[in-house]
Each structure stands twice: as C-alpha cells, then as structure tokens.
Structure 1
C-alpha cells in the first residue's frame, strides 16, 4: 500500500522522536512473564482510530476470557465508536477513548489522565510497541506490570519485555495472540477468528432493518442479497466505475440478486439506481446487518474485518495488500487478488461463491 507524503513524514518524525527518547530509557530488571492466577485487572493500550486494528484485539480478548475468566479488561483506544464495538464483550469493563493526536489536545489529555489514574491495574499490555501515543499512555497509567514486545524505539519503563520471535500466525488479525506469552498461556493451535459476539437483540434489529428496506423497495423475499462497501484507504480503493461494471456482470450471471450499497460519512450517496442503500452508525448493528445478508463484498478495509467479526459470509477484493496477512479470516470466507483479473473473472468468482 502506498502512503501519502504527509503520512510518511508523520511516521518519520515519530520514529526519530522515539529513537531519541529510547536513549534515556531504563531497561534494568525487566521480566518476561506474570502469574496469570494473580491477574484480576488488565489494561490493553491500542490508541488507533482504524476499525480493523481494533477488531484485531478480539482474538486476544476472547482468549483471555477463556483462560482468565475472572479478569476484567479495560481498553484504551483512539476512536469513540470503538466502545460500541468492544465494550459488550463479556470480559470488557470499559473502553476509554483518547484524542487521535494526543499531544495536540492538552485538555483532552488532562481529562484522560484523571480518568485512567483512578484505577490500578495488575498488568498493562502495550499492543503498539514503539508508538509514541502508546508509550505516553503506558507511562501515565498505574499498573503493577507493564508489558511490551521489544522495539529499539521503546523509551517508556516497561517491567516486562519479550523479543517477538517467530509469530504463530502470519495474519495481522491474530498477532495480538502473541501477548498470551506474557501470561504463560499457550497460543491456540486451532486458528481463532475475529468475533465481536453479537447479541440476539442486535441481530433482531439488523434483521428488522433489512426486511423493512426490502419491503419498502418491493424486493421479493427469495432474492439473494449482496452488500457492498466501496470505500478503502489510499490506493486500496476500487473505482466506482469498476464497481458499477462488476454489478452489471454479476447480474448478467444471476438476475436474482439485489445489491445494497453501504453508506458512510465518506460515501454519503449510493452508487447508482441499480442498488439499494443502507447505513448505521451503530457498528455492531451494521455488522449484524452484514450477517443477515447472503454475502458481504468490499476491498481491504475496516468494514470487511467487521463483517468477518460479525460472522458474515465475506468475499474480499484485494489489489495492493497481502491476502495472507490482511485477507478475510475464516474458512468460510474468501479473498482474491483482483489486480490481474478481468471484471468478468471476478463476477464469475462472485456468482460461484454466492
């Protein structure tokens, strides 16, 4: 994936700053593991504003619930909507959001410091390694143990540090499972999936939305439903012209399909008159809506991982990023690299997969 110049500059400045601060950090008496039987309160730090990166926390959260069922988890994130995605998980106590650019919002930073320092944690997990924001947060919280994987950009005083070593899974969505090593908990040999554990009420709300949308547009109940999400970051985005032609080609192969275009702040209008439109600011209900449809289709983007975490059937179209590292998790889902495929080829794959 190709980043814009301003993102490259920001990453470079952050890297230089962290490298400078790491020269003054203390790395004495660092340990590698804690006794999981003594852990009751866990803090996970992931100040990121991307939906996919937050959903990638769910394998770790769900595995900790299995292995340390009495422990409660707080999560510090970088987006307000994340609370609605993660907070309903059974072992999550609260989700705290911080400003995206922490040092540029001093009043918000002060509010955050007051909120987080009210609680003492048994262990804090720094998911983002050498990230400046993550280390600022790690330095401010009260915690008996503070754990991070090693980075030459670490400057905060972590009590527990490990070398990453070889990962159990190549997919980024399962990378957080590596933090189980700090608890001496084996990483699952059966590949887990993303899972936000939708409630029956959320599924019912989504089903009602879907049925209402179909009834209002006089769509027969026996038609197959494909939801599409057209947005993606930077050069991962697929053009509207491509999507329009793909819909035509799929419809030629199977004329019993209705397409629903998912709207968002970045996509306020539907693609054309051949599709229906739906949107929901409650991301959990949106995920449930994906599950209620026959198929969810998009490029490599956060809502694709939301669909996976909602246990929807997913077909992902990749053109820049690695299928192995970022593709749709789950044996029932499919990810294809469309870079060298014709739209006819992709349409046939879609029809066969549906």
Structure 2
C-alpha cells in the first residue's frame, strides 16, 4: 500500500470513529403521523465519485420511486459520472456534486455542503453506512425522516444478504417505514439498472455486430482492475485459453479499459469506448460478462446482463454482482473448473 493510500486509510478510520455515533439521538416521526403521499422531496447521499459506487445507488433509487411514485429525488454525490448513470431516471431532478478533490477547491466544497441545509426534504437517506461525510450530511440536512444507514439487528437476523452495499439501504428504508407506520414495499429487491433505452440497445447491437461479423452468441471479458483486485497477465491468459476450449461456438471479445491495455495482449477481438452508456449497451447484447471486481463489472450488471465477477481482495458479500443470473466467484476458494461450471450454469 502506497503512502497516500495509507494516509487515506488512516483518515477514514479516524473519521469513522468520530462520526459513528452521529444520528444516535435522532428520533423518527411518531407512528401514524405521516402518509405515503407526504413524501414528495427525497435526498439520497453517496459522496463517492467512482463509477461502481454510483451504479450501486440505482437499487435504492428504484426502491424510493416504487414506494413513493410522486416523489422528486436529489442526489448528493462526488464528481464522477453521475449524469450518464442516472440520466434515464426521470424522478432524479437534481444532482448535487462535491468536488472530487475538496482541498483544491475548499470554498466550493463548503458551499456544496451548505446547499443541503438550504432545502427541506421529506426523506433523507445515507447510501453508505460507513461514509463519515454521508452521516454528517444526513445529520446536517433538514429532513422529516432520516435514514442514517445503521443496520438494525432484526435485519441481520432475517436477511442473509444484508451486508451487500446495494441491499442494506433498502432493508433499512423498509424497516424505518415500518417503524413509522408507512406501508413498506414487499417486492423483491431491485437490481442495478442503468435503464438503457431501446435505441441505445439497438446502437450497441450494431457496434457489436460490426466487431464479430457472425451470428454466434458472444462472451465479453474485461481484464483490467485497480490495485490488488487486478489479476496477472498469466492468470488471464490461462483463463482466456480455457474459455476458447470450452466455448468454441461463442465469440469471445474483450472490452478495453480507458488505459487501452489488455492482460491477454489483444488476442481477442476488442473494443474501446469512453461513453459508459454505449459500453453498457454493447454489453447488453452479449450473453455473459466476465471480469474482476471493478466499476465496469457493476456497469455490466446494471445493463441487466448475466455477470460473473472474480474476487480475491474485496468482499463479494458486499460488492458481488446479483440478479439476472449474476454471481461472484472468490478465486482464493475455488479453481478454474468451478468457474467454468458456474459459467455453464448461466450459458447452458
């Protein structure tokens, strides 16, 4: 771990210890004092700029829309790619963005925080219980109902998947609504969804068809990741050759990262795009997407394509892809035969 990473890790631990009690004195509205139609203005807070973390917000946004269909939603995020991620969510009316590097623009950073104080909300949701700034912003906000993110014991006892970063905000919201007497949503949890349009999907198919130039189904791989989540060229080359052997009746293509690098030395047909919606639309036209844990893995999941995510460093219980047949595989506890069996389960 580099020096800056160690500093950030230490800073997060210190801030977490300072802010972990924030919200402890907050009292929910009296049971029966509010109705569903009273929830018109909603604020969801997730001050993180990374693609994956913003995509991981889409399930709680869907939950809010389904529970309160007449609401308007403001999102509080940090820089990043929020607008293309949420552009087809018509209930999202405003995206409040913190600077990605606050110390380079301290006045704007402070002013953005105080925007929260300037508007009244009916519901405020902290999208990450481990975010110190998320807890502080939730406390600072003027909201009738506040969901700070703490997971109640009744949730941990009832739901085995409560650790997932996209799921526990939904379980928390349903728990809070039950506590104040509002009818909670009882439908299955929403999955990640970037809400691709039919036109976008058709354009993605045209791009894919131009790459493969045949009628076979397609497996898409993405060989890049950051830091410890990244597998070696030898690892990917071995896996790619096994895919070629196991699936001769499928195309195998590689999506390239922004750095335009390939862990399999560009052996497969490949494509590159900076447009995340275009990337999602191309993936949508493939049969399966396979990668390590990274933001593009979550983009594939949000395109509603079956996604296999390889994990060795991060916790798949927290970040694993789910829904649409998607699944995480922990490579420290499994071997290549297990991975092929899992892929077979999706393809066959």
Q: Aligning the two structures, in what range does the TM-score lie when normalised by the shorter sequence?
A: 0.7 to 0.9
Match for residue 28 of structure 2 among 24, 27, 31? 31
How do 1:214-225 residues align onto structure 2 when only pairs under 5 Å count? 214=212, 219=213, 221-225=214-218
Counterpart position of 2:190: 192
In 2, are the aligned partners of 1:231 and 1:267 still within 8 Å (CA)?
A: no
Residue by residue over 1:197-238, the C-alpha shift from the partner in whole angstroms, topping out at 9 and shown as x without a partner, is 221122122112212223xxxx3x222311111122332221
Residue by residue over 1:1-55, the C-alpha shift from the partner in whole angstroms, topping out at 9 and shown as x without a partner, is xx666434323334434545789x7965632677232111111110012323222
Counterpart position of 2:322: 329
Give the 3 Å change call, closer, same or farther, for CA 41–315 of structure 1 in structure 2.
Answer: same
Q: CA deviation at 1:74?
A: 1.0
In 2, are the aligned partners of 1:181 and 1:187 still within 8 Å (CA)?
A: no
Counterpart position of 1:157: none
Q: CA deviation at 1:316?
A: 2.3
Structure 2 gap ranges (5+): none
How do 1:99-118 residues align onto structure 2 when only pairs under 5 Å count? 99-109=99-109, 112=112
Cα distance between partner residues in 2 of 1:343 and 1:22: 41
Cα distance between partner residues in 2 of 1:353 and 1:39: 40
Give the 3 Å change call, closer, same or farther, for CA 15–243 of structure 1 in structure 2.
Answer: closer
In 2, are the aligned partners of 1:291 and 1:313 still within 8 Å (CA)?
A: no
Q: Does 1:166 align with 2:155?
A: yes
Q: CA deviation at 1:112?
A: 2.8
Match for residue 174 of structure 2 among 163, 180, 186? 180
Cα distance between partner residues in 2 of 1:135 and 1:103: 20
What TM-score do the two structures reach when normalised by structure 2?
A: 0.82
Cα distance between partner residues in 2 of 1:58 and 1:21: 26
Q: Does 1:58 align with 2:58?
A: yes
Which deviates more from structure 2 when the two are superposed, residues 280-289 or residues 134-143?
134-143
Q: Does 1:293 align with 2:286?
A: yes
How do 1:194-273 residues align onto structure 2 when only pairs under 5 Å count? 194-214=192-212, 219=213, 221-268=214-261, 271-273=264-266
Aligned length: 335
Q: CA deviation at 1:240?
A: 1.9
Q: CA deviation at 1:275?
A: 0.9
Q: Does 1:79 align with 2:73?
A: no
Give the 3 Å change call, closer, same or farther, for CA 226–30 of structure 1 in structure 2.
Answer: same
Q: CA deviation at 1:349?
A: 4.8
Q: CA deviation at 1:311?
A: 0.8
Residue by residue over 1:261-288, the C-alpha shift from the partner in whole angstroms, topping out at 9 and shown as x without a partner, is 2122244457334212222222222112
In 2, are the aligned partners of 1:48 and 1:79 still within 8 Å (CA)?
A: yes
Q: CA deviation at 1:70?
A: 0.5
Cα distance between partner residues in 2 of 1:318 and 1:17: 27
Which deviates more from structure 2 when the two are superposed, residues 43-52 or residues 266-275?
266-275
In 2, are the aligned partners of 1:287 and 1:307 still within 8 Å (CA)?
A: yes
What TM-score do the two structures reach when normalised by structure 1?
A: 0.80
Cα distance between partner residues in 1 of 2:333 and 2:66: 43
Structure 1 gap ranges (5+): 151-161
Which deviates more from structure 2 when the two are superposed, residues 28-37 or residues 328-337?
28-37
CA RMSD of aligned residues (A): 3.2
